[in-house]
Structure 1
Amino acid sequence: MGQQPREQWGTRAGFLMAAIGSAIGLGNIWRFPYVAYENGGGAFLLPYLIAMLTAGIPLLILEYGIGHRYRSSAPLSYRRIRRPAEALGWWQVAICFVVAIYYAVIIAWSIRYTWFSITQAWGNDPDGFFFNDFLQMNPEPGPVSGYVSGVAWPLIGVWLVALTILIIGVRRGIEIINRITIPLLVLLFGIMVIQALTLDGAATGLNAFFTPDWSAMLTGKVWIAAYGHVFFSLSIGFAIMVTYASYLKRKSDLTGSAMVAGFANASFELLAGIGVFAALGFMAAAAGTAVDEVATSGIGLAFVAFPQIISSLPFGGPLFGVLFFACLSIAGVTSLISIVQVIVSAVQDRTGLGRTQTVALVGGATALASILLFPTHEGLHFLDVFDRFINQYGIALAGLVLVVFIAWGVRRLKLFQAHVNAVSSIHLGTWWRVTLGAVTPILLGIMMWDSLRIELTENYEGYPTGFLLAAGWGVAIGAIVFGIIMACFPWKRADAIARDDAARTRDKDDQAPVQLEEPEQVGTEPATDHTPDKEGDH
């Protein structure tokens, strides 16, 4: 039984733009500046850099190696290593589904606020406008009680754009849109930062952001914050990079690509920190308060603090607002596309359906769930709890399981090291195996324990226990259960592919980690290039 030719990125630059587009998301703009500020300011850059070199980039390289070696979605790639590991892949698919359905609505908010910036529709009360007028939020969580049309229609638009790009394909859709939007994002954000630096009080904000508190480096929470942020910001732990790397050509510089993507993401975060704190410095100066009294992160920063800054600007407020919210929208869309592509790729491998049918089926179902749940009076409560629990007990936990499985369960780090070194300009050494075998699992384990300790002693944000059990723990545990159930179903198509591959590669598997021939067909990858492990799914 054969397999349809697999799509390929047109160029390495196209893959890099897509990988960078996935990594640069909403968190780069509204989370990193505040995390750095409250964890030592300028001194935080040291543990951040160490965390990126000892955990972020090594794990990114591992995901590149898995996707590139097995040329498959996450479930099928893990299945080729060990059959039970397919459950991990479907768990990550479920995580992507949950993230996608709430991530899209934040993009919809950003699009509306791009327009609101022109007229400063929030008036003198950005807080009341956002929560009461725009979201029409119910103060208490509960069942859906009504829909908000002002959120629903831009959300529908976001999904139409994302699904159209996905239908067009990896090379002609995802690659091209990222080659356009990522340079545009950097240009627009650069203009916004320059404008922020000209504001009165900008120097005060930058001083607050960069002034190092070296004593903070002696506290464990700062290092945990650094590792935690790097882990989340690089789009690792939920199969995006496994999926994207599966579309690479056989001759692909994996370590070089990981370095470029990692440092490009870090550079954008630093730029975001400069822009955000320059603006917060202006806000503090205008209000006659200290920067620490106006510094915040997340939704409060984007949709309450920044509108207040925009309204306070002596000139250029509408332009500043349009630039800021347009950047949020662009960064969000590129990340959303990468998240949904994980689901599309997995279902394609499982069913053999074409891209259009798969996107219509799974993309449509994801969009429908998003549209039914989040443009509602209770939508923000669902978003807050989903995000908290699927990040802490989905993405981070799945990443921990993946590292432990590869490093200690099947002891495949040397095999992937050989595979990556065969095609990369920068060769991996013992440090790579040490970081993945020891540093990363230990730090992720500490993060898990610390988070669980807090979770079990007090309700997150004071939410009712029943709501947290249903929308928090229920969603996080449900994703794991989904992965186990999906792995239990027979996958005859995958078995046939694996048997064909095994017959071709049984005698040369570990001796030839990778074949370096260029595929004859432009834009696709022959299925015969699969090289499953001897002990894997034969």
Structure 2
Amino acid sequence: MSNDEGVQRGNWKNWWEFLFSVVGSLVGLGNIWRFPYICYKNGGGAFLIPYFIIMFLCGMPLMLLEMSFAQYSNLGPGKVWVCCPLFKGIGHGMIVLTGIISTYYNVILAWALYYLGMSFYPQLPWTSCNNDWNTVHCMLRGMNTSSPNSSLLVENHLKNATNVANHTDMPRTPAEEFWERNVLDVSDGIDNPGGIRWQLLLCLLASSLVVFFCLFKGIKTSGKVVYVAATVPYLFLLTLFIRGLTFNIDGAVKGLGVFLIPRWEDLLKFSVWCDAAVQMIFSAGIGIGGISTLASYSSFNNNIFRDAMILPILDVLTSVFAGCVVFVTLGVMAHEAGVPVDKVVDSGPGISFIAYPEAVSKLPFPQIWAVLFFFMLFIVGLDSQMVHIQTLTAALLDNFPKALNKWNTVLTGVLCLVSFLLGIPCITQGGVYVLTLIDWYCTSVSVMLLALIEVTSLAWCYGVDRIYKDLEMMIGYRPNPVWKIMWLCISPLVVLLIWIVSLVRYSPVTYGEYKYPTYAVGIGWLIAISSLVSIPVGIISTLLNTGDNSEPLLQRFRHSIRPTQKWKPSRQPSLENLEMRKTLI
């Protein structure tokens, strides 16, 4: 690509825009509603040891790899595989996967917006049993405390009640019934989609419009938005942390103890190391193309090695801090209810949309705290959704620059509209079953395999020597040779092991205690492989269209793993470095 084309595509105005954009991408909903539970379940503070080790073995090497070849070429995942055409299907698979994720991520933003709007009511609607959606099983915390079964009732209140279809006769808190019967108005299964929740439809439209206005001028607008979007969550988390400590110090300390006190014996469990690896891959955003898209807008001489060392550490520290905030809040809840902290621990939406709403309702001026929390939740998700749409936009612009470059704003609007329309099935009464199905199979199969093939093809086919030459041109020096070993052996083996173990430990999708019908599981597997089909298709088409038809297959293979003429640095390096690079291509 020529220098003019690189300038026309655009670059971040400064390094801070890139940094905050990546931070916003890494710090997502998983930091708040997945990591705390995974850490608690797998040894508490002891879990941080395998988590940091996996970060060094996989997180940093893979992030450096994804960032380096995208920054070098100024191309996103949809086009960057001109460096190794045989595996162009990897980039296409990442685009498909990102498109799928963007549809249901938008729905989660709609949930947060709905709660945000309801937080302005004079009385928070999830604090009483006197609403139209409440049932006879609704019970306020602390009712009938003299009953010998009261502790059991309290425990049932605190648990995430996603098993609504199977335990409708169990007592529930107002927060649980608000989530199930008002927000979702959930049906009895995926076979019964029911009607569209018009309130969520409006929220879905609003979230799509917000994403569009953050991106309508590409990185010119998103680069400014991220200054706020990436920092606001930290301010809100700090505020909630301090408030939890000052509101009930005994409960907060108990909550922190459950989260951070290490259970060293758990380090001997293989499942703990596997969970640490899975969480690190997902949290670092490896294998879905978002990180490489953001890096493709960096200036050619940006110190990408420095960034790849800083950002994973920042992601881990953010996860730990978010876990502290969550467990301080859960500790306060458990202390007030008179039950152990482990009775209120849960993962997923239950943390954000059941436990936290109930927790903030106990604070003075609860409307203020509810608004702060759900605004923070929306901003955390907004960062990630912006990157999803940017990845799709960059892929189309890279592949059709002449046709689409002047229609950048229209293209962004169309993608936001498509994301809105495809999200509608997830806001029906049975929509939560659809969303869970998509999320379960997208993340359990596709991401790991894409990351594995990516690192293997780049390290072994494009070649670590070329990667080092490219890095030297950009940052002015060669990193330590240990990264070659990471890319060639250690990181691929770790990811392969994770993927195999994930398949061995595979269990069919569930929602609470609801078990999906066989045909739905089949649809889930089709969703999982939809982003992988492009890899063998790309390999076959490349081999068929490379070289002369009379050439042996092995010769075509050799040509197909070499960079094409379109693989050029986004900025012209020095003649000396360019000559050195030619010896390797």
Q: Does 1:180 align with 2:220?
A: no
Q: Does 1:73 align with 2:76?
A: yes
**Does the residue aligned with 1:198 lie in a helix, a strand or coil?**
helix
Q: What corresponds to 1:406 in structure 2?
A: 458
Q: Is the 8 A contact 1:459 1:465 kept in 2?
A: no
Q: Is the 8 A contact 2:86 2:538 kept in 1?
A: no
Q: What corresponds to 2:416 in structure 1?
A: 363
Q: What corresponds to 1:95 in structure 2?
A: 97
Report the Cα distance in structure 2 between the residues aligned to 1:513 and 1:347, rounded to whole angstroms. 18
What amino acid is aligned across from residue 338 of structure 2 in structure 1? G
User: CA 1:290–1:424 in structure 2 vs 1: closer, same or farther (change >3 Å)?
Assistant: farther
What amino acid is aligned across from residue 362 of structure 2 in structure 1? S
Q: What corresponds to 1:477 in structure 2?
A: 529
Q: Is the 8 A contact 2:471 2:477 kept in 1?
A: no
Report the Cα distance in structure 1 between the residues aligned to 2:336 and 2:370, rounded to whole angstroms. 17
Identify unmatched segments of 5+ residues in structure 2. 129-173, 543-559
User: Which has more helix, going by share of residues?
Assistant: 1
Q: How does 1:479-498 map to 2 (within 5 A)?
A: 479-481=531-533
Q: What corresponds to 1:454 in structure 2?
A: 505
User: CA 1:385–1:317 in structure 2 vs 1: closer, same or farther (change >3 Å)?
Assistant: same
Report the Cα distance in structure 1 between the residues aligned to 2:336 and 2:500, rounded to whole angstroms. 42
Report the Cα distance in structure 2 between the residues aligned to 1:425 and 1:109, rounded to whole angstroms. 47
Q: Is the 8 A contact 2:90 2:534 kept in 1?
A: no
Q: What corresponds to 2:446 in structure 1?
A: 394
User: CA 1:340–1:285 in structure 2 vs 1: closer, same or farther (change >3 Å)?
Assistant: same
What amino acid is aligned across from residue 108 of structure 1 in structure 2? A
Q: Is the 8 A contact 2:84 2:458 kept in 1?
A: no
What is the aligned counterpart of 1:240 among 269, 290, 297? 290
What amino acid is aligned across from residue 454 of structure 2 in structure 1? L
**Does the residue aligned with 1:8 lie in a helix, a strand or coil?**
coil
Q: Is the 8 A contact 2:110 2:203 kept in 1?
A: yes
Q: How does 1:244-323 map to 2 (within 5 A)?
A: 244-313=294-363, 315-323=364-372
Return the offset for 1:443: 2.2
What amino acid is aligned across from residue 166 of structure 1 in structure 2? L
**Does the residue aligned with 2:533 lie in a helix, a strand or coil?**
helix
Q: Does 1:214 align with 2:264?
A: yes
1:428-478 C-alpha deviation (Å, 9 max, x unpaired): 2232222232222222222222222233x65545221211111x1111112
Aligned length: 504
Report the Cα distance in structure 1 between the residues aligned to 2:386 and 2:454, rounded to whole angstroms. 23
Q: What corresponds to 2:147 in structure 1?
A: none
User: CA 1:45–1:476 in structure 2 vs 1: closer, same or farther (change >3 Å)?
Assistant: same
User: CA 1:361–1:217 in structure 2 vs 1: closer, same or farther (change >3 Å)?
Assistant: same
Report the Cα distance in structure 2 between the residues aligned to 1:532 and 1:104, rounded to whole angstroms. 43
**Does the residue aligned with 1:75 lie in a helix, a strand or coil?**
coil
Q: What corresponds to 1:168 in structure 2?
A: 217
**Does the residue aligned with 1:312 lie in a helix, a strand or coil?**
coil
Q: What corresponds to 2:127 in structure 1?
A: 123
Return the offset for 1:489: 8.3
Return the offset for 1:364: 2.6
Return the offset for 1:196: 1.5
Identify unmatched segments of 5+ residues in structure 1. 491-497, 518-528
Report the Cα distance in structure 2 between the residues aligned to 1:27 and 1:504, rounded to whole angstroms. 37
Q: Is the 8 A contact 2:329 2:359 kept in 1?
A: yes
**Does the residue aligned with 1:252 lie in a helix, a strand or coil?**
coil
1:328-386 C-alpha deviation (Å, 9 max, x unpaired): 1101001101011111111112222021232233333233212x322111211111111
1:291-315 C-alpha deviation (Å, 9 max, x unpaired): 11111111011111112212233x2
Report the Cα distance in structure 2 between the residues aligned to 1:286 and 1:17, rounded to whole angstroms. 38
Q: Is the 8 A contact 1:148 1:377 kept in 2?
A: yes
User: CA 1:196–1:426 in structure 2 vs 1: closer, same or farther (change >3 Å)?
Assistant: farther
Report the Cα distance in structure 2 between the residues aligned to 1:414 and 1:271, rounded to whole angstroms. 38
Q: Does 1:466 align with 2:519?
A: yes
Q: Is the 8 A contact 2:300 2:570 kept in 1?
A: no
Q: Is the 8 A contact 2:469 2:581 kept in 1?
A: no
What is the aligned counterpart of 2:276 among 226, 248, 256? 226
Report the Cα distance in structure 1 between the residues aligned to 2:200 and 2:31, rounded to whole angstroms. 23
Report the Cα distance in structure 1 between the residues aligned to 2:176 and 2:418, rounded to whole angstroms. 33
Report the Cα distance in structure 2 between the residues aligned to 1:177 and 1:143, rounded to whole angstroms. 40
1:485-528 C-alpha deviation (Å, 9 max, x unpaired): 688889xxxxxxx9xx96699xxx8xx997457xxxxxxxxxxx
Report the Cα distance in structure 1 between the residues aligned to 2:78 and 2:205, rounded to whole angstroms. 29
What amino acid is aligned across from residue 121 of structure 1 in structure 2? P
Q: Is the 8 A contact 1:166 1:337 kept in 2?
A: yes
Q: Is the 8 A contact 1:143 1:378 kept in 2?
A: yes
Q: What corresponds to 2:60 in structure 1?
A: 57
What is the aligned counterpart of 2:44 among 41, 44, 66? 41
Return the offset for 1:249: 0.8
Report the Cα distance in structure 1 between the residues aligned to 2:116 and 2:243, rounded to whole angstroms. 17
What amino acid is aligned across from residue 401 of structure 1 in structure 2? I
Return the offset for 1:236: 1.5
Q: Is the 8 A contact 1:400 1:441 kept in 2?
A: yes
Q: What corresponds to 1:342 in structure 2?
A: 391
Structure 1 segments, 4+ long, off by >6 Å, are 486-490, 501-505, 531-536
User: CA 1:427–1:219 in structure 2 vs 1: closer, same or farther (change >3 Å)?
Assistant: farther
Q: Is the 8 A contact 2:452 2:495 kept in 1?
A: yes
User: CA 1:21–1:373 in structure 2 vs 1: closer, same or farther (change >3 Å)?
Assistant: same
Q: What corresponds to 2:486 in structure 1?
A: 435
Q: How does 1:136-215 map to 2 (within 5 A)?
A: 136-142=185-191, 144-170=193-219, 172-200=220-248, 201-215=251-265
Taking only the aligned residue pairs, the percentage that are identical comes to: 27
Q: What corresponds to 1:416 in structure 2?
A: 467
Report the Cα distance in structure 2 between the residues aligned to 1:513 and 1:249, rounded to whole angstroms. 9
Q: Is the 8 A contact 1:41 1:208 kept in 2?
A: yes
